[in-house]
Structure formats: structure tokens, C-alpha cells
Structure 1
Amino acid sequence: MVNLTIDGKQVTVPKTYTIYEAARDAGIEIPVLCYAKKLLPFGACRVCLVEVEQMKGRLIPSCTTPVTEGMVVTTTSEEIRKVRRTVLEFLLVNHVVECPVCDKGGECELQELTYDYEVVTNRFKGEKFHYETDEKNPFIERNMNRCVLCGRCVRVCDEIVAHGSYSFVERGFETKIATAFDRGLSCEFCGQCVSLCPVGALLPRPFKFKARPWQLKEVDTVCGYCGNGCTHTLGIKDNQVQTIRFNDKNGVNDGNLCIRGRFGYSYVNSDQRLTRPLVRKGGELVETSWDEALEAVANGLKDEKGAGILTGARLTNEELLLLKRLAQAAGVKNLDHSGGSHRVLTEGVASVLGNAASTGTFPQVETADVILSI
């Protein structure tokens, strides 16, 4: 452990911490744009500059500087605020200010910092970016005119997703984030880059112009597409799911989602979804009350002809386990689900490899020379 002082407050943290992490744990806020807790330190934006007594004469980035024993840190002063305002002015020189029509408005980190540091004018002049907006795919809109070059999208795609869809190209004032050969985005469309973008450069297209962040009610739930049990945070307005909100505070997935979990929520709003139970009367399914439906289920389970249970494919593992226990208690042996998309894969793997699941254990996978991934 390391002992240091931040803004006059004694702090003890692990020696692997940076100044920013130490301040965060102590409840001291330092502004950042390029930092994300799941990514390696980068130090691109220079908004997090602080003063260290042992390093007088210059300000240093808190997100990349490791703590040392006896370090004395000042996170805010008139000089530091002045430098941070200057950094924000530089970022706004080329940044296209489209806050009224940008879907990031209300949760844009650049917008919040500009307000907090009272950047109402700009001493520097420059030509605004005028890149073409990439709308060639149905999921992610790329508007590099709003980019602040924090590199979060590049790093999350490289460090977490391991796809490498983005990269910094050009140099100096011409630097921008681009795809290979500057073509339209073609990737897994997991939306990780959208979740981490601090501004409106990367936006979910299905959510465009649907609502402002403060109009959404956030509800935590579990994704039903597979058995991983990833946590979803739904953004709800007018009793409909408008989007999936980024949430790295709850669940086992640390905010990470696949394309299905990130963008495959429209079925929830379908007018064809059943909202009331149905029972068969006179050969037709008709709406009924829950009491009558449950009574029909109980009678069906007692039927001497036998019974079967067919579930939907979007139940969680826990819900399926409870249903299995119910079937066992009722003596029902016929239990299946409608997960046809997985059935094709598992049957194909079983016919080739003799096993419907992986043929190797995790330790074997870690030490394998070759891995066949399907």
C-alpha cells in the first residue's frame, strides 16, 4: 500500500493505482475524457492535469501517473482550472457544436466540462471539421465532426473486443479516427464503442431522435438471448424500450454486450407479443384471466394422457431451472424450449465432433496451439 495526500486529505491505496484512481476512491473528482476504467491508461485528452509537489514546474496527467509514497497532490487551483479551460478551448476549435440536434446532449462529457469550466468564448479560431457521416450500417452512426480524439473507441475495440475496427490516421490537425481504408464500418456491431464514446461521434442509430437521456427511466434486467446472464439496463419512455443504456456497475458482464444484447431489443415493443394468458375453448385460443389460466394448467398437468412444457428461448437460466423443478414436481417428463437458432449449431457440432459443446476444458484452451472457433 502507498500513502499520499490529495487536496489535504490523507489517502492509502494499492501501489498499482494512478493518481486519478486514488482520488476517485477518496471521493475527489478529477475531470477526464479519455479515461475508462476497463481500458489501459492513455493520457490523450490532458483534461485530468494535476499538480504534484515533488514535480513542481509542470502539470502532469493524473490518469497515467502512478502513485508514490509521500506524494502530495493538488487537483484544483486557479492555475489548474485555467489550463483545463485552455484544453477545452483547443478541443472546441474544430469541434462542430450541434448540441441541439445531437442525441448525446444531456450526457455529453464535453458538454458537461464546458459548462463546469465556464468556457463561454474561445480565444482560438480554426476551421470546423466537415467529414462525411457514416450511416452505411443500421446500427452505428459515425460522425467524426464531433470526435475529440480520446481514443476510447480504438482502445475498447482493440483491448476488449479484439476486433481492431478503428485506428488513428493522418497526423497533426488532420488526425482522425477511421476504419481500414476509411470505408464504412464493418465489424461485429457490439456497440462497445458507442457505450464508451464521451461525445456524439458514435451513436446508436435505432435510438436516433427518440428521446433525451433525462426522459428515460432506467430499468435493470437480464438479457435473454443466451445463458451468459448479462445485465441489461433498459431506457424506457412511454412504456416502450427506446434503447439499451450503458451500465458497467451491475452484473457479470462489466457493461460488455454483443450485437444481440446491444441492439436486439425491438421485439419487446412488438404489438404481437402476448400480454394476457390464452386458453383453448372450442378449438380456439381466447384471452382469459390469470386465475382461469393457472387452473387450466393445473388440470392439464393432472391429465392421465400426460403433459408437456414448451418454453420461450428468452428465459434466463434461473427461470429455466425453476421451470425444470416445477416439471419434476408435477411429474412432467416432456420439457423443451423454442431455441431453434442454437439447436442447429449444437446438432451440427455434435454430428462432427461427437459432443454438442466444447471438446476442451478452459485450461486446455489456454494452453492450446490451435483453436477452432465456430
Structure 2
Amino acid sequence: MAPKATITVNGVRFETEADRLLLHALRDFGIEVPTLCHDERLTPYGGCRMCVVSRKDGRPGLVTTCSTPVVDGMVIETDTAEVIEARRAQLQLIVLNHRMECPVCTRRGDCRLQDLIYEYGTPEAALPFDLVRRPMDLASPIITRDPEKCIVCGRCVRLCDEVQGIAAIGLEGRGLDVHVGTFLERPLDCEFCGQCVNACPVAALSARPYETHVPAWLRASATTTCSLCSCGCQVRVETYEGELERVSADSILEPSQGNLCVKGWLGWDLLSSEERITVPLIRTNGKLVPATWDEAITAVVGKFRESRGRTAAIATPRLTNEDAYLVQRLMRQALGSPHVAMGPTGGLAALCDGLAPVAGAPRSTGSMQDIDTADVVLVLRGDPTRTHPLVKTGLVQSIKKREQKLVLAHAVSGGLERHAEHFLPLHPGTEDVLALGLARLVLEHDPARARACEASGATGFAEWRESLEPYSLARVADVCGLEPLRIEAVATRLIQARAPLGIVVCGTGIPGDEVRASAALFWLMTVLEAGNRTGRVIVLGEKFNLQGGLDMGLDPRFLPAYEPAGDGGRPGRVRVVEVAYVEAAGAAVPRVLIADHPSHELCAGLQERALGLGAGDVL
């Protein structure tokens, strides 16, 4: 438990934890301190000097709360005339090179600098220097860069380095010529994640798709979950009269904590796509014809009555938990059909056929929060930079802040390679062989782990250990196309791990068997834990709510909460391969219900394929 410290703030004594930032302590006491350069994701900077307070004990004077730790016995004043005047003077220096056009700025009402100017005031004529003219940069189709509005807070620069691990930009020049740019004006080495734009407190960086003249006070705001990949980032969506105005990250909520990838930031043009289906469609004389909801529901109910027990449902993994539960309940209870499944998606087989038999349930045994506590992370089958950017961001932050060690086993180099202690460019599809070979090496070097796993009663461990016999170092190196010394070095690092974590990247088009890879990685992590706890493995599913769908029983093998569905009354099952392949053994004329939101073209393709397999109707 952290030691306590007692400090006096504006004449009132408070108790807090020692060594935490003074800024955080003051905010916990209900005292708001202004900041411009501070970002909770970044290391203390103290650049804007807006957060100064007066310290009366020890070495008296003005101190920056964002970089000053709490010390027992501190005496702080936050609202004296000296403090207010210091903040006002600093604000004058900040706006010296900031083009003031608040009434027509795209950030009006949503600009921290504007808020501080209203609060403290600053006479624009106090410092008679000319604005350093810099042209607006419109080279990017996505990002507008306006150097004349840059307040040199450094948030974009530091976030690119500390959070994204790229360091594509920096503060160049000196004095009035300081500006954000690349080293020696070299070409930009950028991932185009958009994090710098979201970090900017003013309009020096802005997203062109979200440049709006609707002020912030007229926009409705709501927090929701990004529905693209399976990271579950919390985003703040702003709308005006039903139109999307802006999407940004919520800086408080887990797991994103203010971070957002380019897909979650800008990937919402589908909301206004002309191909989006907005009304029910009924196939009449071979053509899909728009219908009212009453007509569509009546038609579906009629087909359901005709085919009770011979109806199959294929649902999207992007349903909410509530909708997923209702779909399986509709099929199993109302229609008496066990034929319910999710559409094809990366990670489904890894959870149901890979982890469920060895871990007891079709769910990851690790969580996103484990990335923050693991000291060694082994990533198989892909680079999260491409598939799950938030996971990559979490790994980079842990590597930089806690010196976490990363082992990346993937056939193709990517953004994480530069941060990995060990990068293993193995042959595609051999990840399970590598994991089993590493497990054998660990057990050979430390036999006590095997005895600990046996003593813990790990189900199936003895049989699994016997299956490792063929996975010698020489054979694994040959199959994977790696040097034996590199594999041994990774095994040594894993043996030294105190809190290991495994990650399996899943997605359409990734070669190899995700089932074997996830099961092998689970056993490897269990061996490394030496029976102390279940091995921690995260399966990175492709679609938004794959895990929630399984939790709610949206699978023919499981009821809600992973109760086995059993074989009774289940002559056949829905099986999904590629886009939609329906096998309904025992159904004379199967009918298919597609619970998804596909395009017109996908609807036609699903119907053609299902009818070709003997389905009577596709609803």
C-alpha cells in the first residue's frame, strides 16, 4: 500500500498518497487546475506552465502541478494573485503565435485554449510581435495542418513517440521559429493513425471529414462502443440533426483510455453509404422489393410457422449481447430449432475448438488489462498493428514505460517488429509447432514446472506432455524455418518471465490453423505459470462482439453462459464456412434466416448459395 502524505491546500489539510502527481491530488480534492500540454497517457512534461501553483514550504515559489510529486507537509496555494497573474502572462505568450479566429474556427466551443482565454483573459496588444506566417498544409486528403494555430504544447509529438512508438514528428527550430515537423525535413515515417489529431487541444491539426461549422454547444454527444474490431474501444460520437459531425476517443473509459485507431476514428462513411439497407426487402418474382415493417414481419412469421424446427439462423458477430441472446432464444424456444450460429469470422474456431476443450470455456483466459501487467508477451499469427491497433498501442506503452519484453512470431514484418526483443519470421502456419517446441524446451530446462502442473491437477496435462515428444528443437527449427539459437533465446526469455501473456491474432486471410495455435499457446502459458494459475491467452477475434455472441449462446454447441447444448433434439447444425454455407442434416427443406446487415450484393450471394444447397427460402 502506498504511503500517505498530508498536504495543506488553500488553508485546508488533505490526506493523499505520497509521490503521486500534485495535479491529480488537487483534482481529487475538487480543485480544478488548468492544463494545455498535459495528457494522462504521457509522461509529465510541464511545458505550457498553465498549471502553476504557489508552494509555501521548503523551496517556495511557483511549481508545475503536472510534474511535481506530492510530498508530506506540502503547503500549496492555488488561487493567489501571484498564481492568477502568472497563468495570465503565460497565456499571453501562448497566443502570441496563435491566429485568433474563434468565431469561425472549427473547434469553437470545443477548444481548451478558448476556455482559458475566457477564464483568465489576455490583452492581445500586450506583446506587439508580428505573427510568424506559415502556410496551411492541405497536402493530405484527411488531415488539415494549420501551423499558425499551433501552440507548441508538444502533445502530438510526445504521443507519436510514447504511445504509438513511431516518433515520426518532433519540435524543430528554436525561439519564434519552433514548429512541429520531421527531422531535417525528411519524408514522413508515419502510420497515419490519426492520434496526433485527436491529441491536439486546438485546431492546429484537424480531420477534414469532421471540419464543421456547427459549434460544440449545438452538437449532441453520446459515448458508445466502436463496432469494428474486437478491442471494444469507447468512442464519443457527436451528431447534429441526425448527421455525424465528429468521432473521438473517450479519455476516461477502458480499454481505450483516449486512444483510437484510424478505423475507429474515420471508418464511419458506411453510415451514409448509398448501399446501406434502410428498409425491409421481400423477394417477389425473383426480385427484392421494398416493404413496410408490418409486411416484412408478417411474411417472416408465415414462413416460420410453415417450417417450425427446420429453420436456421446465421447472425453477425457484431450484434449486441441483448440482440444475440434474443436471436438464439427465438430459434431455440420460440421456433424449436437448434440451428443457430454466427457468421464466419476469425477467432470463432480458436475459441470454440481451440480454447474451450483445454480451458473449459470458449473465451480468452486473459484480458486487455493483462497487457499492462505482463512482463513478457508472446504474439502469434499476426501483427496487431494491422488487425487490432489498440493492442499494438498498449504493447508499445508497456514496452516504453515498464520495459516489457515482446516476442513477435509472424511471417511478415510490421509495425511491432521495431519494438520486439525477439522477432521470429517463421513459415506461415507453423505457429503451433513453435509454441509446442518452446513448451518442450521450457520443460526440459525446468522439470519442476511439469511437477507443479501435475500437482495442480491440470486436466489432460499428462497426455499433452507425452505429445511433445516429436517437437525437438531441431525439428521445430526445420519446420518453422528458424535458427535453433533464436528459438532457444526465446525459451530462455519465457523461462525468466514472472507474468507471461500469450496473444493469438485471428482474422480472415491469415494462414495457418488458429485452433491448433490457440490450444498450443494455452498449454505453453500454463507451463510457464507452473500450475500457479491458468495460462493467460488472449484470442483477438476479427469482429466486434464475437465473445459476447458466444456468451449469449449464439452457437450450436453452447447455450448462454457456455452450458453445453447437447445432442438431443439436434439432428443437424448450422455450419458456417466462407460467407454462408448451411448444412441442415435431417431437415427436408431447410429454411435460412440471415440475421445480419449485408449489402444487396451479399444478400443475393447468400440466397444463391443457400438455395443451391436445398434451402426452401431465404428470409
Same fold (TM over 0.5): yes
Assess if the C-alpha contact under 8 Å between 1:222 and 1:316 holds in 2. Answer: no
Assess if the C-alpha contact under 8 Å between 1:311 and 1:338 holds in 2. Answer: no
1:78 matched to 2:239: no
Assess if the C-alpha contact under 8 Å between 1:149 and 1:177 holds in 2. Answer: yes
Which TM-score applies when normalising by structure 1? 0.85
Assess if the C-alpha contact under 8 Å between 1:140 and 1:189 holds in 2. Answer: no
Q: Deviation of residue 245 (structure 1)?
A: 3.3
CA distance in 2 between counterparts of 1:34 and 1:192 reads 15
CA distance in 2 between counterparts of 1:263 and 1:206 reads 8
Match of 2:271 among 245, 268, 277: 268
Superposed counterparts of 1:1-374, under 5 Å: 1-55=4-58, 57-182=60-185, 187-301=190-304, 303=307, 306-312=310-316, 314-316=318-320, 319-320=323-324, 323-324=327-328, 326-329=330-333, 330=335, 331=337, 333=339, 335-337=341-343, 346=507, 348-351=509-512, 360=521
Q: Deviation of residue 151 (structure 1)?
A: 1.2
CA distance in 1 between counterparts of 2:10 and 2:213 reads 42
Q: Deviation of residue 102 (structure 1)?
A: 2.0
Q: Where does residue 383 of structure 2 map in the other structure?
A: none
Question: Per the alignment, in what secondary structure is the counterpart of residue 126 of structure 2?
Answer: coil
Assess if the C-alpha contact under 8 Å between 1:311 and 1:337 holds in 2. Answer: yes
Residues 358 and 199 of structure 1: CA distance in aligned 2, closer, same or farther (over 3 Å):
farther
**How big is each residue's C-alpha offset from its partner over 1:123-148, in whole Å with a ceiling of 9 and x where there is no partner?**
22223132232222222222121111
CA distance in 2 between counterparts of 1:56 and 1:313 reads 59
Residues 326 and 305 of structure 1: CA distance in aligned 2, closer, same or farther (over 3 Å):
closer
Matched letter for residue 133 of structure 1? M
Matched letter for residue 205 of structure 1? R
Assess if the C-alpha contact under 8 Å between 1:279 and 1:293 holds in 2. Answer: yes
CA distance in 1 between counterparts of 2:518 and 2:321 reads 17
Residues 15 and 346 of structure 1: CA distance in aligned 2, closer, same or farther (over 3 Å):
same
Residues 129 and 318 of structure 1: CA distance in aligned 2, closer, same or farther (over 3 Å):
farther
Q: Where does residue 396 of structure 2 map in the other structure?
A: none
Assess if the C-alpha contact under 8 Å between 2:236 and 2:247 holds in 1. Answer: yes
Q: Deviation of residue 181 (structure 1)?
A: 4.5
Assess if the C-alpha contact under 8 Å between 2:345 and 2:507 holds in 1. Answer: no
Assess if the C-alpha contact under 8 Å between 2:33 and 2:51 holds in 1. Answer: yes
Q: How many residues in Structure 1 have an aligned counterpart in Structure 2?
A: 365
Matched letter for residue 252 of structure 2? K
**How big is each residue's C-alpha offset from its partner over 1:19-74, in whole Å with a ceiling of 9 and x where there is no partner?**
11111111101111111122211100111111111145521111101011111100
Assess if the C-alpha contact under 8 Å between 1:6 and 1:74 holds in 2. Answer: yes
Assess if the C-alpha contact under 8 Å between 1:34 and 1:44 holds in 2. Answer: yes
Which TM-score applies when normalising by structure 2? 0.53
Deviates more, 1:307-316 or 1:141-150: 307-316
Assess if the C-alpha contact under 8 Å between 1:227 and 1:317 holds in 2. Answer: no
CA distance in 1 between counterparts of 2:519 and 2:120 reads 54
Assess if the C-alpha contact under 8 Å between 1:194 and 1:203 holds in 2. Answer: yes
Q: Deviation of residue 287 (structure 1)?
A: 3.2
Matched letter for residue 178 of structure 2? T
Matched letter for residue 27 of structure 1? G
Residues 209 and 327 of structure 1: CA distance in aligned 2, closer, same or farther (over 3 Å):
same
Deviates more, 1:275-284 or 1:16-25: 275-284
CA distance in 2 between counterparts of 1:234 and 1:27 reads 28
RMSD: 3.2
Assess if the C-alpha contact under 8 Å between 1:18 and 1:64 holds in 2. Answer: yes
CA distance in 1 between counterparts of 2:96 and 2:508 reads 57
Relative to total residues, which structure has the larger helix share, 1 or 2?
2
Larger radius of gyration: 2
Q: Deviation of residue 83 (structure 1)?
A: 1.2
Assess if the C-alpha contact under 8 Å between 2:54 and 2:78 holds in 1. Answer: yes
Q: Deviation of residue 349 (structure 1)?
A: 2.8
**How big is each residue's C-alpha offset from its partner over 1:307-358, in whole Å with a ceiling of 9 and x where there is no partner?**
443445754566556545554554253645376999xx74543437775769
Assess if the C-alpha contact under 8 Å between 1:16 and 1:67 holds in 2. Answer: yes
Residues 347 and 193 of structure 1: CA distance in aligned 2, closer, same or farther (over 3 Å):
closer
Q: Where does residue 370 of structure 1 map in the other structure?
A: none
Assess if the C-alpha contact under 8 Å between 1:165 and 1:187 holds in 2. Answer: yes
Residues 87 and 216 of structure 1: CA distance in aligned 2, closer, same or farther (over 3 Å):
same
CA distance in 2 between counterparts of 1:246 and 1:346 reads 24
Assess if the C-alpha contact under 8 Å between 1:11 and 1:22 holds in 2. Answer: no
Question: Per the alignment, in what secondary structure is the counterpart of residue 125 of structure 2?
Answer: coil
Residues 48 and 304 of structure 1: CA distance in aligned 2, closer, same or farther (over 3 Å):
closer
Question: Per the alignment, in what secondary structure is the counterpart of residue 61 of structure 2?
Answer: coil
**How big is each residue's C-alpha offset from its partner over 1:177-210, in whole Å with a ceiling of 9 and x where there is no partner?**
1135536766333322222211111111101135
Deviates more, 1:164-173 or 1:290-299: 290-299
Question: Per the alignment, in what secondary structure is the counterpart of residue 244 of structure 1?
Answer: strand
CA distance in 1 between counterparts of 2:129 and 2:519 reads 56
CA distance in 2 between counterparts of 1:173 and 1:28 reads 34
- Percent identity among equivalent residues? 32
Residues 121 and 131 of structure 1: CA distance in aligned 2, closer, same or farther (over 3 Å):
closer
Matched letter for residue 313 of structure 2? I
Matched letter for residue 145 of structure 1? E
CA distance in 1 between counterparts of 2:520 and 2:509 reads 14
Assess if the C-alpha contact under 8 Å between 2:5 and 2:16 holds in 1. Answer: yes
Residues 248 and 301 of structure 1: CA distance in aligned 2, closer, same or farther (over 3 Å):
farther
Assess if the C-alpha contact under 8 Å between 2:220 and 2:238 holds in 1. Answer: yes
CA distance in 2 between counterparts of 1:325 and 1:348 reads 32
Deviates more, 1:35-44 or 1:284-293: 284-293
CA distance in 2 between counterparts of 1:227 and 1:71 reads 45
Question: Per the alignment, in what secondary structure is the counterpart of residue 349 of structure 1?
Answer: coil
